[in-house]
Amino acid sequence: MRGVRGTRPRPPSAPPDGGAALRLALQACSDRKAVEGLVLDLRSLTDATDRFVIVSGTSDTHVRAIAEHVLETLRQQGVRAHHVEGLAAGRWVLLDFVDFVVHVFHPALREFYQLERLWGDAPRRPLEEA
């Protein structure tokens, strides 16, 4: 009897590298209509991470939806966040993927903490160009 084609299990694919994972995160932010997005290149300023992705939602619910979509999109590709903070509150969600960190802010908290100003020396690109 001959074997049935296509029944052999496929080996799992490797998760995307840091650059591909970053692109997936950026696309996930865009998918959920994140506003005022930018990417800060921190490679020459700190060893903590390579890039910050900073975006805003328009409400607590929008902030959570953006963050959850980023987590789910990357999880589907085998990339898991090293650390997640603030998801339940939806005011400032931090998603640490080691090579990059996604900050999803409610506009009032983004204005208060001003990460862009704190890291003012970092080269920056709008989300659409990154």
| Cα–Cα distance measured from residue 81 to residue 101, given in angstroms and rounded to the nearest whole number | 9
pLDDT digit string (tens) for 15-69?
566 689 999 999 999 999 999 999 999 999 999 999 999 999 999 999 999 999 9
The domain spanning residue 35 has which CATH number? 3.30.460.10
In a domain, 50, yes or no: yes
In a domain, 1, yes or no: no
pLDDT of residue 2: 46
Q: What's 88's DSSP letter?
A: T
pLDDT band at 128 (very low <50, low <70, confident <90, very high): confident
pLDDT digit string (tens) for 69-82?
999 999 999 999 99
Q: Which domain holds residue 59?
A: 18-126
* Number of domains making up the chain: 1
In a domain, 6, yes or no: no
Residue that has been written with the tokens 């590298």 in this structure: 17
